[in-house]
Chain A
Amino acid sequence: MATEDITYWQALNRALDAELAEDDSVFILGEDVGLYGGSYRVTEGLYAKYGSWRVRDTPISEASFTGLGVGAAMTGMRPVVEIMTINFALLALDPLVNMAAKIPFMSGGQFPMPLVVRMPGGVAKQLGAQHSQRLEHTLMNVPGLRIAVPATPQDAYWQLRQAIASDDPIILLEHDLLYFSKGLLDVEAVPLPMHRAAVRRAGRDVTLVGYSRSVELCLRAARQLADVGIEAEVIDLRSLSPIDWETCITSVEKTHRFIVVEEDCRFAGAGAEVAATLSERCFFSLDAPAKRVAALDIPTPFNGSLESASIPTVEDVISQAQQLCSVADPGVKP
C-alpha cells in the first residue's frame, strides 16, 4: 500500500502521528489542537492517542505559547507549535524573530532550535482583510528562520516530518485552500531534501515559478498554454528560505524566460526576491524581462468578486506567458 489518495490535512496528521510515535520529545501546542482536533482537523485524534501532556491546548496567547515553544526547544524538546492562522502570528513575532531565529547564532551553536511552527495563510473564501494574509515576505526577511511551503499532500507529509527532525527553527506555511485538496501520498518514497525545489512539469518555452497554492495555478496555465503551442516548465519552490536557486537557474537557462506567480502582494514580496535573483544570475540567458504575477497591493477585499479580482488567476498567468513568448493574438484586424 505504498501510495494512497488522501487530503493535505490528513497527510499532516499522519506526519504528526508518526513523529509523536517515534520520538518522546515531540509535542504539539496551540489553540484548539487538543480536544477540538485543530481548526483544519490537522491534529484530529492525536489528543486521544497521546494525551494532554503531548498535545497541549493553550489559551489565546500566541506570544506566550510560541515563546514556550522556543524555551522547550532550548531544553531539548521538539515542539510543534500551531498558530491558528498566520494573522495571529504577528503577535508571536518577538519569540519568532528575536528568539527562535537568533538564539542558535547568538549562543554560538550551544542552543540548537528544533522548533516547528505551523500556520495556515493565504486568501480563502471571504474571510476579510485580516484573515486573508500572506506574510511570507515578513518571515523571509528574518535570517535564521527557515520557511517550507508544501503544495501537495506528499510534500506536507515529508516536509513536516523533516522539519520536526531538523535542529533549525522552521516555519511551515500552509494554505487554507489546500487542506482539503487531495493528492497521492507515498510514505515509502525517498523524500526530496527539505529545501529542494521540484520541477512539476517539464517545458521548453517559459518557466513558471510558483509555491504553495500558486503551483496549481501554474500547472493549470501550463496545460492550457500547451494547447496554443507554448510548453511551460513549472517549478514548485517548496521552500522560501532558503530558495533552491540551482533548480530555477537550470530551468531558466533552458527556457530563457520566467514568470513568478505568487498570491502575496507584488511589492517587496517573494516574487520580487525570485525575480531579482534570477535576473541577476541568469541575465545573459534571458530573452525577455522577468515577469511577476502577484496579488494587488491592497488589503484583501471582503466582497467575493473583488476578492478574486485581487489575486492572480490562471488567465493572468496565461496572458503573461503569451506576451513573454510573443504569440499573443494581435487582437485588432485591419
Chain B
Amino acid sequence: MKQTVPMPALSDTMATGRLVRWLKQPGDPVKRGDVLAEVETDKAVLEVESFADGFLAGPLAPIDTDIPVRQTIAYLVDSAEEVVAPSASEEETEPKAPAVEPAVERARPAKHPATPSTTAPRAATSPSNTPRTLTDPNRRPASPYARTLAADLGIDLADVVPGAGGMIHAAEVLATALQPRSPDLHFGPPYQIEPLSPMHRAVADNMTATQGTPTFRVTARIPLDALQATSKETNTSLTLLLARACALTVKQFPRFNACHTPSGLAIRDRVDVGIAVDFEAGLLTPVLRDAADRPLEELAEDWRILRGKVRSRRVVPEDYQGATFYVSNLGTFSIVHSFEAIVPLGAAAILAIGADDRTATTFTLSCDHRVVFGADAARFLEALAGRLRNPGSWLG
C-alpha cells in the first residue's frame, strides 16, 4: 500500500513549510518515528517523523521551497519493489503528480523486467521531477474566481501564496489584497528581492497584526543593583529573576494578564511570561509557564531547556506561543538606554528593559489601552520597582 507523507501543519497559523533537507532517500527502509526530513516553519526547524514502518518513496518535494501544508512531500510504501514502480492509477489521484518524461523512463536502470503498461514505472528521485508549479510562481494554478478577483484588485498572482493543494483560491488572493501595500521601487536604485525566512515573515505578520492596538507607554527608572547582587549570589539568571518579578506583579494586578478580544476581555488564571530572545537567525519568545506560582528552581530548569532549544532551533509551537505577558531586554547592549516594545497579540502589555547606567535602569511598559490605563501602568511599575529593590522579600 502506498501512503502519502504530507507537509505537516505544526501550528494553526502555519500555511507553508520549507524543507531544509531530506534525511532519508527513496528506497531507504524507515521505522515509525524515524526522522524523514527537516522542515523550517515560521519559528523553528522541526523534524518530520515517519508515521509508519515501510520504505520511503519519491518523488520527494524539493528543498528550499515554500510548500503548502498538507501537500504531499513524499510517499511511504510497504515493500522496496513499490519504491520505483508506483502504480499508475494511484499516481492519477495525486493532483501534483508530475508528467512522466519519456527521457527519464529510458534513463532508468533496466534491472526491473518489463512491467505491464498499467503500472508504468517512473523515476522516483530526480529533482527534475519536482512539480513545476512549486518552483515557477507564474504557472501556479488558480481558480477562475481567484483570477477574476486578482484582476479586479490589481494583484499579481505571482505575489500570492497558494493554499491547499498548491492552488490559488479567492481566499489567498483576498489575503494578499489585505496585506499592506508594497513600496513602489521603480524610481530608486536597482535591487533584488531576498525572500523572507519563514521565521522573519512570522515576526512581520505578527507585528502587522498588532497595528490596530491602541498603545501607550509609561517609563520608570529603577535601580537594579540589589537584583544583580542577588543574581550573582544565588547564581540565578538575571532574566529569570526579572521574569519572576514581573509574573508576581502581574498576579498582583490581574488586568495585566488579560487580553482584548472582540467579545470582551479574556481573563487568564495563570501567568505565562514570554521572553524575547535574540539569536543568530532572528527573534523568538520562549514562554515560562505559570511563572508566578511554580518554584524558582523549576522555572530555572525550564528556562535552561528552552534556551537550549532556541539555540538548536528545535522549539515547537507549545514552547513559544500563548504568553500572557512579555519581557524584552536589550540591557545587554550598554548603549541602549531605553526603548519601546510592541504589544504582541494576546497580551495586555510588554516590558522593555534598557541598559543600566550605574544609577538605574529604564523600564518602559507598553500597554494596550483597551485593557489597562495609565494609572494601572504606574501602579504596576511602582510595585515592580519595590520587588526589584528588595529581592529578598519574594525570592524564598
Name A residues whose Cβ lies closer than 8 Å to a Cβ of B.
256, 283-288, 326, 330-334
Contact = CB atoms under 8 A, between A and B. Distances in A.
Given A285-B145, A326-B169, 16 more contacts: A256-B170, A284-B145, A285-B144, A285-B148, A286-B143, A287-B144, A287-B145, A287-B146, A287-B169, A287-B171, A288-B143, A330-B8, A331-B6, A332-B4, A332-B6, A333-B8
Contacts of A285: 144-145, 148
Contacts of B144: 283-287
Nearest to A327: B164
A332 B51 contact: yes
Contacts of A330: 6, 8-9, 69-70
A80 B8 CA distance: 61
A283 B148 CA distance: 10
Contacts of A286: 143-145
A286 B163 CA distance: 16
List the 7 closest A-B pairs by CB distance, nearest first. A334-B8, A326-B164, A287-B145, A287-B143, A284-B148, A287-B170, A330-B70
Given A283-B144, A285-B144, A326 B9 contact: no
Nearest to A284: B148
Contacts of A334: 8, 10, 46-49, 51
Interface in B205-241: none
B175 to A, nearest CB: 13
Contacts of B147: 284
17 contacts: A256-B145, A284-B144, A284-B147, A285-B145, A286-B143, A287-B143, A288-B143, A288-B169, A326-B164, A326-B169, A330-B6, A330-B8, A330-B70, A331-B6, A332-B3, A333-B8, A333-B51
B157 to A, nearest CB: 14
Nearest to B168: A287
B140 to A, nearest CB: 15
Nearest to B50: A334
Contacts of B49: 334
B5 interface: yes
Contacts of B170: 256, 287
Contacts, number: 47
B176 to A, nearest CB: 15
Contacts of A288: 143, 169
A230 to B, nearest CB: 13
B5 A332 contact: yes
Contacts of B4: 332
Interface string B115-155: 00000000000000000000000000001111110000000
Contacts of A326: 163-165, 169
- A283, A331, A332 interface centre (most CB from chain B within 10 Å): A332
Interface of B: 3-6, 8-10, 46-49, 51, 69-70, 143-148, 163-165, 169-171
A327 to B, nearest CB: 9
B207 to A, nearest CB: 27
Contacts of B171: 287
Contacts of A287: 143-146, 169-171
A288 B145 CA distance: 8
A330 B9 CA distance: 8
Nearest to A288: B143
A149 to B, nearest CB: 30
B82 to A, nearest CB: 18
Contacts of A284: 144-145, 147-148
A326 B6 CA distance: 15
A256 B7 CA distance: 27
Contacts of B148: 284-285
B370 to A, nearest CB: 27
A229 to B, nearest CB: 14
Nearest to A279: B144
- B3, B9, B70 interface centre (most CB from chain A within 10 Å): B70
A131 B144 CA distance: 42
B75 to A, nearest CB: 12
B278 to A, nearest CB: 29
Nearest to A323: B164
Nearest to A326: B164
A330 B3 CA distance: 13
B57 to A, nearest CB: 15
A331 B9 CA distance: 11
Nearest to A283: B144
A326 B48 CA distance: 23
A142 B331 CA distance: 84
A313 to B, nearest CB: 21
Contacts of B6: 330-332
Contacts of A256: 143, 145, 170
A283 to B, nearest CB: 5
Contacts of A331: 6
Nearest to B47: A334
A45 to B, nearest CB: 54
A282 to B, nearest CB: 9
B60 to A, nearest CB: 16
A104 B163 CA distance: 54
A333 B9 CA distance: 8
A286 B142 CA distance: 10
B4 to A, nearest CB: 7
B3 to A, nearest CB: 7
A262 to B, nearest CB: 23
A288 B144 CA distance: 8
B212 to A, nearest CB: 24
A331 B165 CA distance: 15
B115 to A, nearest CB: 28
A326 B164 CA distance: 6
A174 B231 CA distance: 84
Nearest to B145: A287
A326 B166 CA distance: 11
Contacts of B143: 256, 286-288
Contacts of A283: 144
B208 to A, nearest CB: 24
B316 to A, nearest CB: 11
A285 B147 CA distance: 9
Nearest to B173: A287
Contacts of B10: 334
A136 B331 CA distance: 78
A15 B233 CA distance: 96
Nearest to A329: B70
A283 B4 CA distance: 32
A330 B72 CA distance: 11
A256 B147 CA distance: 13
